Amino acid sequence: MRLIHALAALALLAGAGLHPADARPGRGTSLGSRGSRTYSLPPPTATAPNFVRPMDRSLTARSAMPSAAPATPYPMNRPYGMVNRHPFMTGFAGGLLGAGLFGLLSGHGLFGGVHGLFSFIGFLIQIAIIGAIVVWLLRRFGGGRSASSPGAGMNRAPSGGVTITPDDYRAFERLLLDIQAAWSAQNLRALNTMATPEMVSHFSEQLADYASRGARNVTSNVRFQRGDLSEAWREGNLTYATVAMQYSLTDVTTDMLGHVIDGSATEPMMVTELWTFVRADGRGNWILSAIQQAG
């Protein structure tokens, strides 16, 4: 009898196109929308420092994405190399350097030559002034910041001019727990209040697929472990925040008779995902707009 149940479970998983543990909300895939950054990889964080799986399914068309915004693993508000410096700054500094080199090559010294002690002192003053100008330009147009390592907790500094407060982080954690509970209860009405219509449509399709195969997935004992902000930005009147979250849970898929098909009701599993939330500025609450898997 156990062999029959095992074979039936394997047949159900194969028919559903599932792998073991791909059962929680989203079923272990990357899906949803992140506005104009849907197909850009979120910046790495301490919680999710490695590979992030690109979107498997999204209602956002790739043709709608700006062609000048390629995917990048770097935060959009950090300088990370010379290419980020302002063209005016690089051109002006290059002009100063070029003028000095031309003076040397033409036999007139760095800036017209050094003649006598006072000319030498004047030369040093010129160098100091130009150095100060270059430093100011670097700070003014290069951002004046050095890349810093991401924080280990859900109290990351503002990103892209958007401030994420402790209340926002508490809202993200609450949504993680409530969405898991609504998923397990197959409560689409509750999911409608916590996720975008696109995400609800994905959840509804997944739950219907389970039901059509005589199966049900239940997640329980969800425990938030750690998390941090990957990026936050505004688009029009919408504010987005992508947060890396690590949590543990028990994840069990059963048939209609209660026989376990996949997972364990006693052994928790650890999951790391990036959840993107969105809200209308000045009104409304944060709701889930995308889930991406972290490697």
> pLDDT tens, 62-114?
875 554 344 333 333 333 233 333 333 334 444 444 444 334 344 444 444 44
Flag whether pLDDT at 262 surpasses 80: yes
- Tens of pLDDT, residue by residue over 185-200, are 999 999 999 999 999 9
For the beta carbon of residue 73, count every other beta carbon within 10 angstroms: 12
What is the rounded average pLDDT of the residues 220-239? 96
Banded pLDDT at 129 (limits 50, 70, 90): low
The answer to whether the beta carbons of residues 25 and 56 sit under 8 Å apart is: no
Task: Give residue 232's pLDDT band: very low, low, confident or very high (50, 70, 90).
Answer: very high
- % the chain with pLDDT above 70: 59
CATH placement of domain 2-76+151-293: 3.10.450.240
In this prediction, residue 7 carries a pLDDT of 39
Q: Please, which pLDDT band fits residue 256 given cuts at 50, 70 and 90?
A: confident
Q: Give the Cα separation of 211 and 100 in Å (integer).
A: 76
Nearest to 73 by CA among 105, 94, 50: 50
The predicted structure's pLDDT at residue 159: 53
| Degrees, nearest 5: CA angle 254-197-290 | 75
Cβ atoms of 291 and 269 within 8 Å: the answer is no
Q: Is residue 21 predicted with pLDDT exceeding 80?
A: no
Would you say residue 284 has pLDDT above 60? yes
The pTM of the full predicted model, rounded to 2 decimals, is 0.65
User: What does pLDDT average to over the chain?
Assistant: 75
* pLDDT at 96 (0 to 100): 42
